[in-house]
Amino acid sequence: MLGESYTKYDGLGLAELVKTKQVKTSEIIEEAIKQIETQNPRLNAVIDKFYDQNKTVGQSHEMAGPFAGVPFLVKNITQEVKGERITSGSQALKTYIAKQDSEYVRRIRKAGSIFLGSTNVPELALMAITEPKLHGPSRNPWNEDYSPGGSSGGAAAAVASGMVPIAGANDGGGSIRIPAAYCGLFGLKPTRGRTPVGPTTGRNWQGASVDHILSRSVRDSAAMLDVLAGNLKGAAFHAPEVKESYLGLVNQPLNRKCRIAYTVRSPLGTDVHPECKKAVMNTVKLLEEMGHVVEEKEAPIDGRKIANSYLMLYFGEVAATLAELEAINGRKVKLQDVEPTTWLLGLIGRTVSAGDFVMSLKQWDLAAFAMENFHETYDFYITPTTAFPPAKIGELELSSTEQSIIGLVSKLGLTKLLLKSNFVDRLVETSLMRTPFTQLANLTGQPAMSLPLHLTEDGLPCGVQFMASRGREDLLIQLARTFEETPAWIPLRPILTN
């Protein structure tokens, strides 16, 4: 029997046990279900369970693919499993059932993974915390008073607590990297177009959002990128082709001296917590000891313009999603159907012009060219993953007064007045000041990762972000593996068993 040793294995480790017939798939599935049932009541990471059909699969599953027999949790937005509920964290979709597998799910299923459920997300994946009113808050396994981040917060809590070794995630503004930073995990956001979207869409968030996984090991992330990578006909974006295996790169050391830029200053000019700065400075010191050339240098972009462009994406995408909800439900969406922040973003999205939206996309492209030129000099750009350690559960919730104001704005049609004020600038600062570093890579299409390289004095993980030029996931994976073999890589959180 696998027993308690289940939580000590990464995904490839479990697959090797199955391949060499040391354990049966059914034993792994049984242990994964046991972990979910033990951990989930206090963490609220898994919101829907697919046990019944997959217990049978676990007994008769054909062992094929690099993750054959490995339990997997999908993220409850875009990662559709045919016949299963996918709410996107919204009351308006609480009964919606997926009509087909997404291409992401198809590829992971083909790799041999067994789906056991779906993980909690903030409504429409809009927040860097996971506290949807529909499902309630997910909690951080390192300290249950704190958030695991978002929007892949349920996935991060599930992996960090040992429920599963890998889980589906996606990243439209930091939603892989932020939870990875808060939960002590490895989180890689691939290059735009590297992993598939579809078949119901050719782009997610205008290409800002990319799907991948959260994992406890670098090699799991690399192997899953091998599984997922590959252009899909009809998709809006295609990443540069890579001929060699990402998993194969894990054991190839980065055997050259790199030139690396770093900053600990927020692109918004707002505060950065001393622990987040310390995480970067300790990393810089270690890189210099490895022989790399590291210098303090900020990215050649206007942080405020990037943030405003990112929020313009929010406005447009939420307005479009509310229109889609009306088509799905056959009636107009009301304030009561969604959370107040979602409603406000949708109101603004209906007010801003198409010209404003296109102009914001041009900012993405200008930033992309600037960063590619930057990376002709620097192999990597390092920042804190987040500007602050995890927030406490409920700390960032709207007050009753703020919720009332949103209702009043909606009722009196005052949205245009908000736009004429400095409301958007204030919204940028209040919504992004805790997480101002991650959006850049989404808008430019670059790959970026968060590494678990620091624990705060309070014992909470704190991530360090690395960015590279488009298509250079190979460099990120090789560098991540180098760090994984050093004492700087924080150990996995001890798995709770009671």
pLDDT score of 346 more than 60? yes
Give residue 497's pLDDT.
44
Task: Give CA 160 to chain center in angstroms.
Answer: 14
Rounded CA-CA distance 115/486 in Å is 33
The model's confidence at residue 45, banded by pLDDT at 50, 70 and 90, is very high
Q: What is the mean pLDDT of residues 293-314?
A: 96
pLDDT band per the 50, 70, 90 thresholds, residue 173: very high
Cα separation values, 204 from 41, 42, 416, Å: 32, 32, 27
Q: What's the sign of the alpha-carbon dihedral 443, 449, 454, 460?
A: positive
**Residue-level pLDDT at 424:** 67
Give the integer Cα–Cα distance in Å for 111 and 63: 9
Work out the average pLDDT over 138-162.
98
The arithmetic mean of pLDDT across residues 214-222, rounded, is: 98
Question: String of b and e for 448-476 (b: at least 16 CB within 10 Å)?
Answer: bbbbbbbbbeeebbbbbbbbbbbbbbbbb
Percent of the chain with pLDDT strictly greater than 90? 85
Query: Which pLDDT value is given to residue 478?
Result: 97
pLDDT at 54: 66
Give strand pairing partners of 215.
166, 186
Per the residue annotation, which of 75, 102, 152, 209 is the catalytic one? 75
- Tokens 């624990």 map to which residue? 455
Residue type, 273: H
Beta carbons of 102 and 79 less than 8 angstroms apart: yes
Summarize the confidence of residues 186-200 as an average pLDDT: 96
Alpha helices in 176-302 (DSSP H): 177-183, 218-228, 246-250, 274-289
- Average pLDDT for residues 340-363, to the nearest whole number? 93
The reported pLDDT for the residue numbered 172 is 97
Which tokens in the block code for residue 267?
């692109």
- Examine the residue annotation and report whether 151 is marked as an active-site residue of this protein: yes
> pLDDT tens digit string along 314-334?
999 999 999 999 999 999 999
Q: How is residue 231 annotated by DSSP?
A: -
3-state secondary structure of 334: coil
Q: List the structure tokens of 22.
A: 């040391």
Mean pLDDT computed over 183-191: 98
Q: What is the C-alpha to C-alpha distance for residues 151 and 64, in angstroms, rounded to an integer?
A: 31
Count CB atoms within 10 A of the CB of residue 102. 24
Which helix or strand (DSSP H or E) is residue 417 part of?
helix 415-420
Query: Which stretches of 76-185 are assigned E, i.e. beta strand?
Result: 114-119, 166-171
Find out whether 186 and 177 touch, Cβ atoms under 8 Å. Answer: no
Task: Output the CA–CA distances (angstroms, integers) from residue 60 to 2, 114, 235, in the order listed.
Answer: 18, 12, 34
**What is the predicted pLDDT for the residue at 60?**
46
Q: Is the pLDDT of residue 144 over 90?
A: yes
Q: Residue 352 — φ and ψ, nearest 5°?
A: -70, 155
Whether residue 67 contacts residue 23, with contact meaning beta carbons closer than 8 Å, is answered with no
The confidence score (pLDDT) of residue 406 equals: 77
Count CA atoms closer than 13 A to 264's CA, side-chain side: 16
Query: Residue 243 phi/psi, 5° resolution?
Result: -90, -30
C-alpha torsion sign, points 140, 89, 465, 473:
positive
What are the tokens at 55? Answer: 């217990």
CB 298 within 8 A of CB 265: yes
Q: What is the H or E stretch that residue 367 is in?
A: helix 354-374
Exposed / middle / buried, residue 147 (Cβ in 10 Å: 0-12, 13-18, 19+)? buried
Angle, helices 103-110 vs 218-228, to 10°: value is 110
Q: Which of 88, 90, 138, 151 is catalytic?
A: 151
39's tokens: 């951990």
Select which of 175, 266, 431, 450 is catalytic.
175
**CB–CB of 79/176 below 8 Å?**
no
Least reliable range by pLDDT among 95-109, 128-142, 284-298, 391-405: 391-405
Residue 196, CA distances (Å) to 117, 232, 238 in order: 21, 6, 9
Rounded to the nearest integer, the mean pLDDT of the chain is 93
Q: What is the pLDDT of residues 469-483, one digit of tens each?
A: 999 999 999 999 999
Chain-centroid distance, C-alpha 294: 27
Residue 283 has which token pair? 């990393």
Q: Are 434 and 387 in contact (CB under 8 A)?
A: yes
Say whether 360 is catalytic: no
In 10 A of CB 200, how many CB atoms? 12
Query: Residues 407-454: pLDDT tens digits?
Result: 777 776 767 766 666 666 766 777 899 999 999 999 999 999 999 999
Query: Is residue 298 within 8 Å of residue 382, measured between CB atoms?
Result: no
Q: What domains appear along the chain, each with residue ranges and CATH number?
A: 3-257 (3.90.1300.10)
pLDDT at position 62 over 60? no
pLDDT for res 492: 84
Q: What angle do CA 232, 233, 237 make, to 5 degrees?
A: 65
Q: Give me the residue label for tokens 């304030």.
A: 335
Q: Please check whether residue 100 is in contact with residue 79, taking contact to mean a CB–CB distance below 8 angstroms.
A: no
User: Locate tokens 């990578």: which residue?
Assistant: 229
Distance CA 361, CA 203 (A): 14
